[in-house]
Amino acid sequence: MKAVEAVALRSWDAALDLGYAMRGGRTVLAHRSNRGPLAVQKPLYPEGDAVCHTIVLHPPGGIAGGDRLAITLNLQAGANALFTTPGATKWYRSAMLEAAQDVKITAAAGAVCEWLPQENIFFNATYARNVIAVSLEPGAVFCGWDVMCLGRTASGERFESGSVRQRLRVTRAGHPLFEELGTIEGGGALLDSPVGMAGFPVCGTFLLAGIDISKAALDECRDAAPAGKAKWGVTRLPDLLVARYLGRSGEEAREYFVRIWKIVRPLYSQRAMQIPRIWAT
């Protein structure tokens, strides 16, 4: 048996399907099904009944070549759910066998979905596809981010081979609000190009979709700069706010996005920011 075929036989085909509903003023996990090593902890309510915090678990601790992970989140009208992960998602090197994670989010009118995972770490020689697709009905709001670290920067590893394919798409009533497609090749020119990664190993995107924010709030977001020597930017479009990070630290990227989240959350949720408890463990 060829090595690639042997790896494929050991790969995980995992799925997690969650549905949320507002019942009696409480957001409840109304539907849950899973296949393979994807699961959630019990629903948490550190902010009270209206907001359900959910921790998405992948017990193997990383995504290997050939793995297929599918996460589907459905929020019914008025539901309010926050999602995060207990740690960074590690994408392991593979023998040219692609690993994939597909996150599909749908939110009905009046629903608020907050997708706030910790960073993705793509090991050298990873072949990965990472997709986030968000579908909003009019009146729904999505707030979330995606942070990618190319190589294990803490140990000095560079992303010299492999590839990462990314797709981030947000639609409302079937019409696109935001879409981004990209492929980063290990050792490619894009890593050092001034119009690409510019020599930085970490990049991230923050999105707030479904509402307009004021000029004053936009200015406040632009003042919430990263602490280190990074590049960043904030753009306001109709019913969309986009913030970018380009630097050397996944932790710094998350801290930067948290500062923006603190500013905008009262605007779409009428609540102060509530840091997920799992981040402190």
Scan for tokens 């905008």, then name that residue.
Answer: 264
Single-letter amino acid code for the residue at 25? G
Rg of the chain taking only CA atoms, in angstroms: 18
Residue 21 · residue 241 · CB < 8 Å: no
Single out the residue of 65, 118, 67 nearest to residue 95, CA to CA.
Answer: 65
User: What are the residue ranges spanned by the domains of the chain?
Assistant: 3-280
Residue 2 confidence (pLDDT): 47
Residues of the chain with pLDDT under 70: 1-10
Scan for tokens 């924010």, then name that residue.
Answer: 213
Residue 229 confidence (pLDDT): 87
How are beta strands 26-35 and 62-63 bridged, if at all? unpaired
Distance (Å, rounded) from C-alpha 31 to C-alpha 195? 44
User: Three-state SS across 204-222?
Assistant: EEEEEECCCCCHHHHHHHH
Residue 156 confidence (pLDDT): 84
H-assigned helices in 46-172: none
Residue 260 · residue 224 · CB < 8 Å: yes
How are beta strands 175-185 and 202-209 bridged, if at all? unpaired
Residue 6 confidence (pLDDT): 41
Residue 41 confidence (pLDDT): 87
Q: What are phi and psi of 67, to 5 degrees?
A: -65, 145
Residue 111 · residue 75 · CB < 8 Å: yes
Residue 208 confidence (pLDDT): 98
Alpha-carbon distances of 180 from 36, 132, 168, rounded to whole Å = 29, 10, 5
pTM, full prediction: 0.94
Residue 136 confidence (pLDDT): 98
Single-letter amino acid code for the residue at 119? E
What SS3 class is residue 109?
coil
